[in-house]
Amino acid sequence: MNRVWTLASCVAGAVVVALDGTVLTVAQPSLQRELGASFTEVQWTSTAYLVPVAGLLVFAGRLGDRYGHRRVFALGLLGFGTASAGIGLAPGVEWVIGLRAVQGVFGALAQPATLAMLRAAYPPDRLAAPLAVRTVAIGLAAAAGPLLGGALVSGPGWRAVFFVNVLPALVFGLPALLGREHRPAGSPPALDLPGAALLAVTLAALVHALSGGAAAPAAGAVSLVAAAVLVRHERRTAHPLLPARVVGSQVVGAALGTLVAVSAALFGTLFVITYVLQRGLGLDPFDSALRGLPLAVLMIGSAALCPVLLRRVGARVTTATAASVLALGVLVLSGNTATPALACGFALLGGGFGTVMVAATQVVVRHAEVAVAGVAGGLQQTALNIGPAVGVATAAALLSAGTGPALLVLAALAVLGALLAAALPGAGGVASITPSGAERVPGRVPAGR
């Protein structure tokens, strides 16, 4: 599979997963009416997906490191498409919830592979551009999702929302499955099944706790205990799921921390501002979405510009400045609800987040050797799943004190991301380890293919 097809496949896989989440939000009210579901059951159509995704991303990346990322990507994308078709045919909400969990498992397989395949196909100093293309595509999916979802729900109905995933899953999943796999030389890494189980319990329980509900305290306690056991296990095992050269790196830790903090600030802010627009100003969902369009536009534009910034000033300045811009956007939204102020605030949010997304992801993926690129991709995806859950939980907990205090705390989270970015490489800094196996092995896909 040549570089162009690899990039197209990675973009398609990321877009299918991103689009699915945005269109579902629009489809949920219609789904609830047709299937006679309760509000709690509708919430579980989202939670049932998030829990397995959060728990399995890193292990899915390790599976790719061992068996081949293209193969794991194909399995994930084809399984995701099959589960989507099943949801479109589901006779009741129980089937929807169950199949959403299945979707989550296959989505977890596909997501880290989209980053690991890029890491294997492109040399470290050329990673920023394909990562920017991937981020731009995700931004387009986020912008188009509500519009596409609304059109499908208003026309064929909510089931069509899920059938949309089937064709791209086949178009990009089958060639990936049938194509030749290129893997690094040497023995494949061990799977560390006990570590995978402990990490899955830790993260799944954490997401469940952040989702709220009566079981949240118990889920939080389970997450803490499992995390403690996981740390002990990883320190003692000969083949840890989380290699020390990845999780022990100050650079990778700072990049992941920045992604968590900034995504928490963004999604927490969107949670609060949606409440302000629809409850406070009385706007309908469509008008609210129109107010937020500058976010998507600037996210796309900033992601496209980010590779230039990385070459000129490095990841440290680029990421810290972008996180500060996002914090400023939160502050603007906290002070004024006039249309110009909303447009400015959303634009700052989008410009800041699009830049951080590309810059911090480039640091994480570039720093990892090809042999552990799947784990690195899984950690990046985990950060972008945990961050929003933290942000929404924080916003929900503070909203009773007023939108102003909630947004100030969320702005502080973005500032924290800027401070963490101080540990990232500067201009001319080398974030990658010495060339790994796949970068030296003959037979790797050449640049011109």
Q: Which H, E and C letters describe 30-42, residue by residue?
A: HHHHHHCCCHHHH
Task: Determine the residue type at 195.
Answer: G
Task: Determine the residue type at 385.
Answer: N
Q: Is the pLDDT of residue 213 over 80?
A: no
Supply the angle between the helices 373-398 and 93-121 in degrees, to the nearest 10: 130
**pLDDT tens, 272-328?**
888 788 777 887 766 777 888 899 889 989 999 999 999 999 999 999 999 999 999
Q: CA-CA distances (angstroms) from residue 305 to 5, 19, 84, 193?
A: 23, 23, 34, 41
Position 183 scores a pLDDT of: 61
Q: Which residues of 166-193 are buried (b: 16+ CB within 10 A; e: fewer)?
A: bebbeebbeebeebeebbbeeeebebbe
Confidence of residue 348 (pLDDT cuts 50, 70, 90): very high
Position 353 scores a pLDDT of: 94
Return the sign of the alpha-carbon dihedral for residues 166, 171, 174, 177: negative
Position 402 scores a pLDDT of: 83
3-state secondary structure 223-273: HHHHHHHHHHHHHHCCCCCCCHHHHCCHHHHHHHHHHHHHHHHHHHHHHHH
The length of the chain, given as a count of residues:
449
Token pair listed for 333: 């939204």
* Neighbouring residues of 295: CB distance < 8 A, sequence distance ≥ 6: 346, 347, 349, 350, 353
Identify which of 422, 416, 356 has the alpha carbon closest to the alpha carbon of residue 390. Answer: 416
pTM: 0.81
Report which of residues 328 and 182 the model is more confident about.
328
Token pair listed for 318: 């680029």
Contacts 24+ apart (CB under 8 A), 335-338: 337/276, 337/277, 337/280, 337/281
Helices marked H in 124-183 — which ranges? 128-154, 159-163, 166-178
**pLDDT tens, 217-230?**
898 899 999 999 99
Q: What is the mean pLDDT of residues 129-136?
A: 89
Q: What is the mean pLDDT of residues 171-178?
A: 89
Residue 246 and residue 383 in contact, taking contact as beta carbons nearer than 8 Å? no
Q: Is the pLDDT of residue 442 over 80?
A: no
Q: Is the pLDDT of residue 176 over 50?
A: yes
Q: CA-CA distances (angstroms) from residue 387 to 125, 260, 305, 390?
A: 27, 4, 24, 5
Q: Which residue has the tokens 């197209």?
A: 8
Percent of the chain beyond pLDDT 90?
Answer: 38
Identify which of 444, 368, 377 has the alpha carbon closest to the alpha carbon of residue 182. Answer: 444
**pLDDT tens, 389-437?**
888 888 888 887 888 889 999 999 999 999 999 999 887 654 443 333 4
**pLDDT tens, 10-46?**
999 988 988 887 777 778 878 888 899 887 788 788 8
